[in-house]
Amino acid sequence: MIDTLRSDLRYTVRALAKHPRFSVLVIGTMALGIAATTAVYSVIDEVMVRPLPFPEGDRFAQLLRPRTDGKGGAGQHRSEAVGTPSGGHTCAMLS
């Protein structure tokens, strides 16, 4: 098994050395793919996997009104945003 692997690696190095432009393209493509995958994983890890850095972060919610323009879904414009009541117990009022 080790001999087969060693033979395959030697063949790969020889083939890449014969065509240096193709080698750069292949290595660059692999590096770009690995970097993109790492970036996406990092974002998903921060946003979805790790808890929010707030006490009781699992109790946060976003409240939206149904859209009235006929496009479906829900939305809220910045000018319609409601401030936090004094004391900051917005989510606690819902439970």
Q: 77: closest CA among 64, 62, 88?
A: 64
**What pLDDT, in 10s, does the model give residues 25-38?**
999 999 999 999 99
HSE-CB at 82 with a 13 A cutoff on CA atoms is 9
HEC string of 52-67 equals CCCCCHHHCCCCCEEC
Look at 49 and 88; give whichever has higher pLDDT.
49
Quick one: what percent of the chain has pLDDT higher than 90? 38
pLDDT at 35: 98
Whether pTM > 0.85 for this model: the answer is no
